[in-house]
Amino acid sequence: MQTAASVSHKASRPRADALRNRERIVTAAREMFVEFGADVPFDEVARRAGVGNATVYRNFPDREALVREVVCSVMDRTSEAAEQALAETGDAFEALERFAHTAAAERISALCPMLSSAFDRHHPDLEAARVRVDTLVARIMDRARAAGQLRDDVGSGDLLVGIAQLSRPPAGTGCLSADRFVHRHLQLFLDGMRAPAPSSLPGAAVTVEDLRAS
């Protein structure tokens, strides 16, 4: 980090405040997608982000672009949480639990729109992020399974969908009060994943790949 000239080419670099604003918009959109669904008015997103509405329209040509950026951002955060969990050297199942609770708090449910029909699930950015998440989560689960702590018949998709569904706010407006319940129910779900399995599950283990099938 030099005093100046730390960045090579300045021609294509956007202004610093522009980047900051873009980030604030994505954050606001992520929160609002989770609470109100993927069709919140742009003006509302702008208001929560503390910017003018024009700034939103300037950064994102259409709704899909914003949604995609939000989904990618959430997947990246999830991947980071997964990497952190993998770095933990202690109990394998405990690492899995830590990851799950962190992902729930990170509002992973914002990536539900990914399953929506009116959404290009094959965009390169998404594919890359998806593979990354899937791989990391599968690694965490494999480790717990190898330790004999995780049942055999569950896949990364089962875990991620469970987290997403259980961490969604019920439906009404800003019902964040449920956050107190979320971790209870997620913990129950995780306990159900422990080995030995007391029941057999219908269907086969689900991967993230399976989720994007129609």
Partner DNA sequence: TCTAAACGGGGAAACCGTCCCCGCTTATTT
Partner DNA sequence: AAATAAGCGGGGACGGTTTCCCCGTTTAGA
Alpha helices in the chain (DSSP H): 16-36, 42-49, 53-59, 63-87, 92-105, 124-146, 156-166, 179-192, 208-211
Binding at 92: pick from DNA, a second copy, none (beta carbon under 5-8 Å per type): none
Out of 13, 20, 58, 184, which residue is the one contacting a second copy (CB under 8 A)?
184
CA end-to-end span of the chain? 48
Name the DSSP letter for residue 40: -
- The yes or no reply on residue 145 touching a second copy (CB under 8 A) is no
Interface ranges with DNA (CB under 7 A): 10, 14-18, 21, 39, 41-43, 50-55, 57-59, 62-63
CB nearer to DNA: pick between 61 and 198:
61
Cβ atoms of 41 and 66 within 8 Å: the answer is no
In this structure, which amino acid lies at residue 118?
A: A
Please, what is the minimum distance in Å from the beta carbon of residue 25 to DNA? 9
Coil, strand or helix at 50: coil
Looking only at residues 73 through 132 of this chain, which bind a second copy when binding is defined by CB under 8 A? 112-113, 115-119
Please, what is the minimum distance in Å from the beta carbon of residue 57 to DNA? 5
Cβ atoms of 153 and 205 within 8 Å: the answer is yes
Binding site for a second copy (CB under 8 A): 37-38, 112-113, 115-119, 154, 157-158, 161-162, 164-166, 168, 170-175, 177-178, 180-181, 183-185, 187-194, 197-199, 201-203, 206, 213-214
